[in-house]
Chains A and B, each alone.
Chain A
Amino acid sequence: MPGSEPVLNNYLIVGALLFTLGTIGFLTRRNLIVMFLCAELMLQGVSLTLVAFGSFHGTWNGQVFSIFSLSLAAAEAGIALALFVVLFKRNHSLDVSIWQDLREPDQPAILDEPVAETPDEQHWPHLTPAGLLPGEPHAPQGHASHHGHARPTLAQAPVATAGGSHGN
């Protein structure tokens, strides 16, 4: 079946490139969650390769292997994410270089240059306040006489806005 040769090769190359990208991400990133996502990306590349071979040879085996790797990835994600929650509770950080105490006893520690803290990089979404304030329930007009005077709801808006922007 020489006609389907470029098709198979294209799928294999896309799978190989996905695997490579996952490898780069796994090697460089520091966040445990992102590292695990990159491992899932590598699994995706391999799964694409398996299905391509399976459909090239006209058998079900590639898809069956991919289904197994899918369920393996699900099991892996359950365990790993439970571990990440426990690890975060213990150290309040997901940085992988915190856990280099687990290395071999005669290995030297990898010392990073100190991190330059740049708080300006964090951009929070800015929401313009609109409508009535949440702490001020909108009284129906019939009960307005119960309070004796109508409250100016808009007068307190700048106070709440300032409090909201101090949240970060």
Chain B
Amino acid sequence: MNFIQKSLASGQLSGLLADTGFGLRAALAQPHSGAILRALAVLGCGIIGIYLLLPRGVEGGGTKLSRYLGGALATLSLVFLVTFPIPAGESSLVGHSSAILSPLSDQPAVTGWTFYILALISLASAVMMITARNPVYSALWFALVLLGNSGLLMIQKADFLSAATIIVYAGAIVVTFLFVIMLSQPNGAAAYDRRTREPLLSSITGLILAAVLVGTLHYSATHEGWGKMTVGAQRPSAESIAAVAEKSNQFGKISGPHYVAELGKTLFVDHVVSVEIVGLLLLAAVVGAVLIAGHQVERNARQ
């Protein structure tokens, strides 16, 4: 019963859309409306910035101005993610307002600042990547996203994975992208790079998706017992975490001196069938790529 009431309280946006006059007053009277409106303000600021940054093919004097405005709004939204306080209700665990990216008070200061810097690098580069007018710049911004992401992985003690991200993604995939861009765009920026398809509708879709994801994550992290399947509902106790770790990983703790050796043992003992299947898939991909790209050459040579 409590769950139904709370989900009704948080699902007030549909009421707001259905009956504006009464719905707005009712929505503002709800306990979480301030938090929802503030989170929507943070995310909507970024979405409006992305909409202004997206190439829309509108030529004229306002293009450069709207680009600058969009960049400023997106930057502001990224800053708000860290600094803008979202008020928490009485039922929350934290008890005080915290930003969407909550402060890492239990962490050493170096880790916290490193996390914020890397996350902001990652997100800002992602914004620049999806709004760049030149696909070469898109690929390079994606390489910067990968750098930030591999730093985030390294904070989480996933050293091998962060190195593999740099080597495989930034070293192989992005370079292959650059090769294909140079093969297929010999005349520089094309007309279809300067305009997008339905930027307004896509931005609204992105706002809805981001609001649902971030709202659910933020709410479930600050409230106890909201729903059964959320992150914050069933916090595993330290004993259960240790038990799961003991059961699923009999080769040692996750952070040890022989980190890569332990990961390799897990990969090639517990998941050996998956490794074989992935190897087969890579072989099939190589054969398929040779077949697809080589077919044209062979036919041209025969003519």
Contact = CB atoms under 8 A, between A and B. Distances in A.
Interface stretch (A118-126, A136-144, A153-161): A118-126
Contacts of A25: 129-130
Interface string A78-101: 110111111011000111110000
B164 interface: yes
B180 A33 contact: yes
Given A6-B103, A44-B145, A51-B156, A16 B173 contact: no
B235 to A, nearest CB: 7
B176 A37 contact: no
Given A27-B197, A30-B192, A60-B254, A75 B181 contact: no
A46 to B, nearest CB: 11
A14 B123 contact: yes
A34 to B, nearest CB: 5
Contacts of B37: none
Interface string B262-280: 1100110011001000100
A94 B242 contact: no
A14 B152 contact: yes
A13 interface: yes
Main secondary structure of the interface of B (DSSP, over half): helix
A48 B289 contact: no
Given A24-B203, A25-B130, A52-B156, A118 B236 contact: no
B101 A10 contact: yes
Interface string A3-19: 11111111111101111
Contacts of B180: 33, 81, 84-85
A94 B190 contact: yes
A48 B153 CA distance: 7
Which residue among A11, A24, A81, A86 has the maximum number of chain B CB atoms within 10 Å of its CB? A24
A27 B165 contact: no
Interface residues of B, number: 110
Contact of B123 (A18, A30, A73, A82): A18
Contacts of A84: 180, 184
A106 to B, nearest CB: 21
A87 B103 CA distance: 48
B202 A28 contact: yes
A8 B155 CA distance: 12
20 contacts: A2-B93, A3-B106, A4-B106, A6-B98, A14-B122, A24-B50, A25-B129, A27-B206, A28-B203, A34-B132, A34-B138, A36-B177, A38-B129, A48-B152, A59-B254, A60-B266, A63-B263, A67-B164, A71-B168, A116-B57
Q: Which 4 A-B pairs have the closest CB atoms?
A: A25-B130, A75-B285, A82-B293, A24-B206
Interface of B: 50, 54, 57, 59, 93, 98, 100-107, 115, 119, 122-123, 126-127, 129-130, 132-133, 135, 138-139, 142, 145-146, 149, 152-153, 156-158, 160-161, 164-165, 168-169, 172-173, 176-177, 179-181, 183-185, 188-199, 201-203, 205-206, 209-210, 213-214, 217-218, 221, 231-232, 235-238, 241-242, 244-245, 248-249, 253-254, 262-263, 266-267, 270-271, 274, 278, 281-282, 284-286, 288-290, 292-293, 295-296
